[in-house]
A and B are shown apart, each in its own frame.
Chain A
Amino acid sequence: MRKVAVVGAGMTKFMRRAQETGKELAWETAKLALDSCELTVKDVDCVVMGTAPDAFDMVHMKHEYLSDGAGAWRKPYVRGVLGGGTGVFTACQAWYHVASGMFDVCLAVTEEKMSSCLPHPQGAFVTCWDQFTESPLGTSLLWFFAWEMNRYMTSHGITEREIALVSVKNKKNALHHPCAQLPGEITVDDVMKSEIMAWPVKRLDVSPTSDGAAVLVFASEEVAKRITDRPVWVQGVGWCLDTMYIGQRDLYYPKYVEYAARMAYDMAGIKDPRREIDIAEPYDPFSYKELHHGEGLLLCDKGEAVRLLVDGETQKTGRQPWCPSGGALGVGNAIAATGVMKVAELFWQLRGEAGERQVPGRPRRGVAQAWGDEMQVGTVVVLGV
């Protein structure tokens, strides 16, 4: 396998509703990412697309719809879908397109326009679940997270107040993100007092739905060294799917994230992720998920993530910052684009270009992760300089 670098990144603001069409969002971002590394669409050998269920944009086969905005015409083009795990997987896809030796420059485009789906994109999930044993119960997407959070809290004796600190931290980090949709200074009490959606999940434990796009440019070692003196290398990728029967999983721990992480760490030669990783961007569509995923990423023992949080170790200035971007909770959750936003954050942090979000101490390696499908897929990317 060839070495692969990330050489450019771009994203739109994450917004409750964008005026742009999906393909306009894709184009604005792809152009920005290509401009950032002084490449043009003619330098792109292939394009990979990441965008979650069609029903979010309410455009079927939306990879086709988005393809011109993604710069994909008359080029090899493919879309990979892993639900909420799609964004980080798009980076995995781009990696193997280049690592295989088949392509030198791959554009990885992710887009979501969830405002098109009314009354709420959650309704689109009705046909994602089992039509016989799940949907007839009037199932809501939030139930899945509520069940998991409840099981996670109960298994480890963690409180809702402790988990609320994730929202407080991430929304604060997002204050410095120029694209953030819901940044803010909030308190644990604010989270606790926000309305119950599906207990134990409350309004401020949840990331918003968003419109937005995020794009990365991947290049082979040869191209990367020619166009930049600061390539950020893809050191590891991993992805793993677990059983779709929710009743067969123990929800307190995301084993599939661990498997994906081990795959990526093995590739990166990482033996002790707690020490060898400087920054982490675990997927945080819900506050507890950052902790849950941090454990799956083997960044601490099971049930210990909350201690790192309470002790301030995962703060921007802590020993191993988690979600310095502000995460899905702060920046917004344009599903597939959020995964790439997280990889882009690593890219900017590792190059020392994250501005006010820059974590101290020149980070050299970071991990980004996303999660989704029927809430049982883990996708992981390790970047390093």
Chain B
Amino acid sequence: MSEKIKSWPGTPLGEKEIKEKRILVTEWQPNLKYAWDTGAGYGRDFAELKKGKIVGTKCNKCRRTLLPARLFCEWCFRTADEWVYLKDTGTVNTFSVAYTGTAAERLKVPRIPALIEIDGSGGVAIMHLISDVDPWKVKIGMKVKAVWKPKQKREGAITDIDYWKPI
């Protein structure tokens, strides 16, 4: 009854009402910290990343490479069959030039998040960052290579790859 409803509920407030304390507000800072266990699949993934290697698993039924590596194929719903090492080169599937961070804060220097199809995986992409390049020169289809953190700085995490740069 859009037409028949004459008054729509809702009391909009502006920044002013809050800043000038014209209305009451209360704040709460959550004091929660999480520790996530990697589990078995990712555990091996990250152990390999620490060694400078990208690993996937393979389902021999649908012949897909599972990346990030995991212990079961979700389509065939069966245990993955084997671990496979992949190259640390790939192709840009898509990318962005991002001026916003995690909590929507403004970044002065843009980052280049991308999906990168890992060579040898049959076109499966992982999420990572491109750097060491003029952001406006990045193109879909561009070949890129992983730049690894120095060995002593690796901690068994996706960030052991520092970034990817065009070949």
Contact = CB atoms under 8 A, between A and B. Distances in A.
A140 to B, nearest CB: 5
A143 interface: yes
Interface string B66-100: 01100000100000000000000000011111111
Given A25-B10, A143-B113, A247 B100 contact: no
B94 A131 contact: no
A120 B103 contact: yes
Contacts of A195: 99
B46 interface: yes
A122 to B, nearest CB: 4
A20 B10 contact: yes
Contacts of B114: 147
A196 B107 CA distance: 11
A213 to B, nearest CB: 8
Contacts of B45: 132
B127 interface: yes
Contacts of B105: 119-120
B155 to A, nearest CB: 10
Interface residues of B, number: 56
A209 B54 CA distance: 38
Interface in A1-50: 8-20, 25, 28-29, 32, 36
A348 interface: yes
Given A138-B111, A348-B1, A353-B4, A196 B140 contact: no
A198 interface: yes
B13 to A, nearest CB: 5
A146 interface: yes
B115 interface: yes
B5 interface: yes
Contacts of B47: none
Contact of B36 (A16, A123, A132, A200): A132
A61 B114 CA distance: 34
Given A131-B36, A142-B96, A178 B104 contact: no
Contacts of A306: none
B131 to A, nearest CB: 12
B84 to A, nearest CB: 16
Interface stretch (A96-104, A148-156, A277-285, A296-304): A148-156
B129 A137 contact: yes
B2 A132 contact: no
Interface string A143-180: 10011101100100000000000000000000000110
A146 B95 CA distance: 7
A15 B14 CA distance: 9
A361 interface: no
Interface in A240-258: 243, 245-248, 251
B65 to A, nearest CB: 10
B102 A123 contact: yes
A354 B113 contact: no
Contacts of B148: none
A183 to B, nearest CB: 14
Given A19-B13, A136-B157, A148 B2 contact: no
Given A9-B1, A198-B96, A247-B115, A136 B158 contact: yes
B90 to A, nearest CB: 10
Given A19-B23, A134-B127, A200-B96, A147 B5 contact: no
A143 B8 contact: no
A206 to B, nearest CB: 10
A251 B12 contact: no
Contacts of A179: 8, 10
B43 to A, nearest CB: 10
Contacts of B28: 58
B127 A28 contact: no
Q: Which of B68, B95, B103, B117 has the most A CB atoms < 10 Å from its CB? A: B103
Interface in B92-142: 93-105, 110-111, 113-115, 117, 124-129, 135, 140
Given A13-B9, A198-B100, 16 more contacts: A15-B12, A16-B12, A19-B23, A119-B105, A120-B104, A132-B42, A132-B68, A133-B42, A137-B129, A151-B93, A196-B97, A211-B10, A212-B10, A246-B115, A353-B2, A357-B2
**Those 7 A-B pairs whose CB atoms lie nearest each other, nearest first:** A146-B96, A247-B125, A123-B103, A13-B10, A28-B9, A120-B104, A12-B10
25 contacts: A16-B13, A18-B12, A19-B23, A20-B10, A29-B9, A32-B5, A58-B28, A120-B104, A131-B34, A131-B36, A132-B36, A132-B38, A132-B157, A133-B127, A137-B128, A142-B100, A150-B95, A196-B110, A245-B68, A246-B127, A247-B115, A348-B3, A353-B2, A354-B2, A355-B2
